[in-house]
A and B are shown apart, each in its own frame.
Chain A
């Protein structure tokens, strides 16, 4: 079963909720190796998306929702996260196109486009201790699941599991991009806040997909 507009809207609502719930945790992670604004900025961005969901035109697609998230995050989040997440959602929207329903391979393609957009904008590579360290394992897991014929909800579940493991695995890394890179060796021993927020957002997508599949 594919994922439709109902899932997309539910994903955004769950994202806003999970970011709000983890706001302090993200601020704390960021304060340890950055400047402590990540939770505040992401919370401001997703709270700004919520009222706009009510204005979506009838017949809107998942791609329209992703584009709405992109433009809102770019104009409200600031910091590095605004342009990076904005680009991720914008590329995801383009990959989703005008499809009304997204199947497993479509979800894998969307995640790939999002990750590639972040790499192009932020020029980070795997192992630099950034959100890429959550997104790339998620893309790889999504590709494998889609190739194995798993449905869309299963593809997101695999992506979320891999992203969580990837975020956890940033802890021993020495940062090579972003503000944490100024710390050099001292950045080791702390989880990357961007990787953590990426994992949270993918878990919200998987939860929304599971709820949609069960409905």
Chain B
């Protein structure tokens, strides 16, 4: 294992400290317990939005704290949900009296810890609602699984719900738009290589030189099937097919196409993949109205990508275009 780290147990603390120093104009960082808060929080009368989860997915979530997106992020240990204490602290720090929304990726640990935190915050008189993201079509949503995972669609939920909160929407309205984005987002990912959790020191799974893993999540967990490496266009098709089967589009409907890198994928490959995805969508008569390409929700140094398609309506487009000023997404301001 070669990594730019000191003590493996201090990776998250030291990285978050650096994040706070680099973006002191946008956020402040608290260490006991650890959470990242918008510099001007709490904002009176505004719905507060808190997200969080295991570290290793940067820029998610701290990179999305700031004007027009999240009010706080709670980083756990690498690939491990944060405990309830820092979630409660973050919830209190962003409560401006209009209630707080928790955006939680559907992973058992995240859901259990956020639930516990919401109970504790409610006991202190804060109205907390949760939206659980579950956009990953690789997982069968059935009684026999923990349900679909929340993956790259989470970034889109955070941006759009954040814009709704910023313009002054009520907690009910912010919850409604967050749920609508989640319900209209579908994602699927693949990995060319595993990733190495610092304290584990070994790869999360092994792949032969010519093998790839289809249907991965974002925690270095293995996916649903293993196949031989194929040309990029065929890989894109493999990801798009289940997405479009799961949420069919009428000709002329609008979509946001999001090609995400898993941390170790160069932009040149992501845009190459985007080209094929755009071609397939055009053949189906789907209008790509907005796009996002880059490493926005990652699994450490994993090479791979995910594709997310969000079916857009007028309000979502307006909220997507609204100004945002965070470390990782910034426009219009």
Flag whether A181 is at the interface (Cβ < 8 A). Answer: yes
Binds A, one of B21-29, B80-88, B90-98, B318-326: B80-88
B197: chain A residues at CB < 8 Å are 35-37
Identify A36's interface contact among B79, B83, B115, B145, CB under 8 A.
B79
Rounded to whole Å, the gap between the CB of A64 and the closest CB of chain B is: 21
How far is it, in angstroms, between the C-alpha of A75 and the C-alpha of B82 when the chains are bound? 9
How far is it, in angstroms, between the C-alpha of A44 and the C-alpha of B76 when the chains are bound? 13
How far is it, in angstroms, between the C-alpha of A41 and the C-alpha of B199 when the chains are bound? 10
Flag whether B220 is at the interface (Cβ < 8 A). Answer: yes
Q: Assuming the A-B contacts A176-B144, A182-B149, are A82 and B109 also in contact, with contact meaning beta carbons closer than 8 angstroms in the complex?
A: yes
Do residues A83 and B200 form an inter-chain contact, with CB atoms below 8 A? no
Do residues B109 and A78 form an inter-chain contact, with CB atoms below 8 A? yes
Q: Assuming the A-B contacts A36-B197, A40-B77, are A75 and B83 also in contact, with contact meaning beta carbons closer than 8 angstroms in the complex?
A: yes
Flag whether A149 is at the interface (Cβ < 8 A). Answer: no
Flag whether A177 is at the interface (Cβ < 8 A). Answer: yes
Q: How many residues of A are counted as interface, with CB atoms below 8 angstroms from the partner's CB atoms?
A: 32
Do residues B113 and A83 form an inter-chain contact, with CB atoms below 8 A? yes
Rounded to whole Å, the gap between the CB of B215 and the closest CB of chain A is: 8
Do residues B80 and A79 form an inter-chain contact, with CB atoms below 8 A? yes
Among residues of A, the one whose C-beta sits closest to the C-beta of B115 is: A83
Among residues of A, the one whose C-beta sits closest to the C-beta of B79 is: A35
Do residues A27 and B109 form an inter-chain contact, with CB atoms below 8 A? no
Encoded as 1 (CB less than 8 Å from any A CB) or 0, chain B from 145 to 186 comes to: 110010000000000000000000000000000000000000
A34: chain B residues at CB < 8 Å are 221
Q: Is the interface of B mostly helix, strand, loop or mixed?
A: loop
A27: chain B residues at CB < 8 Å are 200
Encoded as 1 (CB less than 8 Å from any A CB) or 0, chain B from 202 to 240 comes to: 101100000000000101111110000000000000000
Flag whether B108 is at the interface (Cβ < 8 A). Answer: yes
Q: A36-B79, A83-B116 are in contact. List 8 more A-B contacts (CB 8 A).
A: A36-B200, A76-B83, A78-B76, A78-B81, A82-B113, A181-B145, A184-B140, A186-B222
What are 26 residue pairs bridging A and B, where the CB atoms are less than 8 Å apart in the complex?
Answer: A31-B204, A35-B79, A37-B77, A37-B199, A37-B200, A40-B77, A40-B200, A78-B77, A78-B82, A78-B109, A79-B54, A79-B76, A79-B80, A82-B81, A82-B113, A83-B84, A121-B112, A122-B108, A122-B112, A176-B144, A176-B145, A177-B108, A177-B146, A183-B221, A183-B222, A183-B224
Interface residues of A, Cβ cutoff 8 Å to B: 27, 31, 34-37, 40-41, 44, 74-84, 121-122, 174, 176-179, 181-184, 186
Interface residues of B, Cβ cutoff 8 Å to A: 54, 76-85, 107-109, 112-113, 115-116, 138-140, 143-146, 149, 197, 199-200, 202, 204-205, 217, 219-224
